[in-house]
Chains A and B, each alone.
Chain A
Amino acid sequence: MLRKIVLCISQKQATAGLWRMGKLMSCGEFPDHEAGHEGFRKWLHQYRSTPISVIVDTAEEDFRLETIPHVAARSRKEILDRRLNQHYRNAGFRAAQQIDRETAGRRDDRFLLMALTNPEVVSTWISIAQRLQMPLAGIYLAPVVSKRLGQLLSDALPLPQGDLLLVTRQHAGLRQSFFRGPALHFSRLSPLPDQSIPNFQQRYVVETEKTLLYLLDTQTNFSQNRMHLMFAATQDADVDAAQHVPLTQNIDRTVIKPSELARYLGLDSMLLQRHPDLMLMQVLACHGFSATNIAPGKLMRPLQLQRIGLSLNIASAACLSGAAVMAAANIASAYDMEHQSNRLAAQIRTQERLHPDTPRSLPATPWPGGMLKTVSELAQNIDSLNRTPQRMMQIVGEALDRQPEIRLDRLRWQLTDKIDGTDDASIPAPLASFDVHEIGFIEGEIANFDGNYRAALDSVNRLAEQLKNHRQVHRIEILRQPLDTSPLANLQGSTREPQTGQAPSAPFKLKIVLKAVPR
């Protein structure tokens, strides 16, 4: 929120101020009577929809310290509601603030319960704001805001550790709040006469002495906890009066002059002297803290609705902005693609102009180029299978040259796609594929055979071995030996001398498979 209104309500009047960006822009005091109310309404009307935070500075307030077991949030709320109902059954403006936890025993939580015991003090002013539909940001008791003031001043001076009795004077009177550590323990508001009255100083001193006596009576132990008595003076008269307060042991005094106080708070000194309520109002407006709000939920509803409305407006803006960005990106992308399309179209036209592709531009041909290629490659394939028996004859010839006792009677060479081809068919079967092998069959016998089959077998085996070891031979099979020594075959013969025309023979047959020749 850029603007906020802070209203300080006391028994006799209300002081209102408008802050914008943390700076006080306007301020007014409105007495608690009809004219004052009307003036307030007119002042407020200028700043409609601005959230209002309210400080209630009245003696009709109550504070109680309570300890409750340390339980879960839901149970804690129930216990606190019960305690608040117990103490402030009829008070609409009430709240509880956690102070700390006990250090011993069950380590219970310590809470400060607070309530405005007379709602009439604020009801008139609040109803004026409600009629103008001004959202209420919160209602805070003056001692709660004083606590933050005490912290600010302690930090600014700075003060050593110890208890603090903060004495301030506003329109409502003399406010004395006692803090032990960060916790508010006690607060008292005493009405004071105007500073122009002769016995003002005496009353000021007496009221402060009463508080000090009360603290001593309630056995507040200052011996261990040194106490600082701090006077935050908004008027020069307060400075004089503060100096006259008698002190006892373990109490020291700090008097902050109006000019210093204004500087610490960031306010104009003259303005602060004219409107002393601005001291707490400035703290609430500019030195943000989580003060305990005593406003009932129904009064906070306009602010919640205003925040929902603001959220909806932000969502609308985000929605529109997002859509605009995406649409812009899409349109840019579309423009880019259109540009690319046009460039492609231009390229196609250029290509068509440079390379006119009409049938007349091709050479005259009986068939498409692909078909010509197919036929030509087929002819090349057939040419690549141009083999003759020459290789087979060379291999066999070389082997036979080393074994002149062997006579060759028959040689058959085949080009076949079956490596296990036989010697049977007279006409070769068509090649199923052009992946071919050269195989050969040789038949012969031992020349001038004298019946020595062992020698014949040795000769044939040597021939087979020679062929097998040739680098171009893939495989050798002996299909027939000169003598079948297998126990599965019948073996007949004679050792008699051979008669004329009945010479014994030792025929054999081999199969040779050559290694493939790269095509």
Chain B
Amino acid sequence: MMLTRQDVRSLGLPLATLGTALVIAIGLYSYAGGQVSRARQQWLAQQSAWAQARAHRLASATEKENIARFLPEYRRLKQHGFIGEEKRASWMEHLREIHLRHQFSAIDYDIGIQQAYKPAGVAPEPFQLHRSVVTLRFPVLHEGRLLSLLQMLPTDDIAPFILRDCMLVRRAGEGGKTSASRIDATCSLDWLTVTEPLNRSTP
């Protein structure tokens, strides 16, 4: 059905009503949409604040727990020389004590230059890990003495180390039973220490 201008004029009131209804509907919808948008933003902000507060509280609890758990260990490691400067004198003193107390004929030692050390998967940042190679040479009557010395090496006064290499060589031409020292033992170990960063920060 084609509408003439007169038809449209006769439909003026319903058309005007529809137009008004549309305007009112759009207004209502926009107003309500605005209210929802504002409320949603406020709700999201509060959610974010709540999540932050919760994360902060959890982080704080974790921090407290870490401090309570690891601070004594940290202090012990520092006292024993793992953290801080190498205590080379303590090493020398400890070897001398082993030599005297356990009647080793002689223990030759060679402590190498300290170098930065970054093994894969070990990142104690911001602390710096260092390595010094310690080589010990001493004659033994039998292999068991080597193991005894190795058992005596770790003490609370020296930092942890990793025994890397041990070699036992029977002295040439001394296969007889008269010699007092028949075997030369040589051991190398990695002496590891950690230095603290210069910029100290507190939590």
By a beta-carbon cutoff of 8 Å, the part of chain A in contact with chain B is 301, 304-305, 308-310, 312-313, 315-317, 319-320, 322-324, 326-331, 333-335, 337-338, 340-341, 344-345, 347-348, 351-352, 355, 357, 359, 362-363, 365-376, 378-379, 381-383, 385-390, 393, 397, 407-416, 427-428, 430-434
Does B98 count as interface, using CB distance less than 8 angstroms? no
- Interchain CB contact under 8 A, B60 and A327: no
Q: Which residue of A lies closest to B45 (CB)?
A: A341
- Interchain CB contact under 8 A, B49 and A362: no
Q: Which residue of A lies closest to B63 (CB)?
A: A369
Chain B 87-130: CB-based contact to A (< 8 A → 1; otherwise 0): 00000000000000000000000001001010111101111010
State the CA gap A320–B70 with chains docked (Å).
68
- Interchain CB contact under 8 A, A373 and B165: no
From A322, A326, A365, residue with most partner B Cβ within 10 Å: A365
- Interchain CB contact under 8 A, A369 and B165: no
By a beta-carbon cutoff of 8 Å, the part of chain B in contact with chain A is 1, 7, 10-11, 13-15, 17-18, 20-22, 24-26, 28-29, 31-33, 35-36, 38-40, 42-43, 45-47, 49-50, 53-54, 56-57, 60, 62-71, 73-74, 77, 82-83, 112, 115, 117, 119-122, 124-127, 129, 131, 133, 135, 143, 146-147, 150-151, 154, 160-170, 175, 188, 190, 192, 194, 196, 200-203
How many whole Å from A383's CB to the nearest CB in chain B?
Answer: 6
State the CA gap A315–B25 with chains docked (Å).
12
State the CA gap A383–B154 with chains docked (Å).
10
State the CA gap A305–B57 with chains docked (Å).
71
Within 8 Å CB of A322, what residues of B?
A: 25
Within 8 Å CB of A355, what residues of B?
A: 57, 60
On whether A414 and B21 interact (CB within 8 A), knowing A341-B39, A375-B194, the answer reads no
- Interchain CB contact under 8 A, B31 and A334: no
- Interchain CB contact under 8 A, B188 and A382: no
Could you name 29 residue pairs across A and B whose Cβ atoms are closer than 8 Å?
A305-B11, A312-B11, A312-B15, A315-B21, A317-B21, A323-B24, A329-B32, A334-B40, A335-B39, A337-B40, A351-B54, A352-B53, A357-B56, A359-B203, A365-B67, A369-B62, A369-B67, A370-B66, A372-B70, A375-B70, A375-B124, A375-B127, A379-B82, A387-B163, A393-B143, A412-B165, A414-B164, A432-B120, A434-B119
- Interchain CB contact under 8 A, B135 and A427: yes
How many whole Å from A366's CB to the nearest CB in chain B?
Answer: 7
How many whole Å from B162's CB to the nearest CB in chain A?
Answer: 5
Supplied contacts A341-B46, A410-B169, 18 more A-B pairs, CB within 8 Å: A304-B1, A316-B21, A323-B28, A338-B39, A344-B46, A365-B67, A368-B66, A372-B73, A373-B66, A379-B160, A381-B122, A382-B161, A411-B168, A412-B165, A413-B165, A413-B167, A428-B133, A430-B119
- Interchain CB contact under 8 A, B14 and A309: yes
Q: Which residue of B lies closest to A431 (CB)?
A: B119
Within 8 Å CB of B160, what residues of A?
A: 379, 382-383, 386
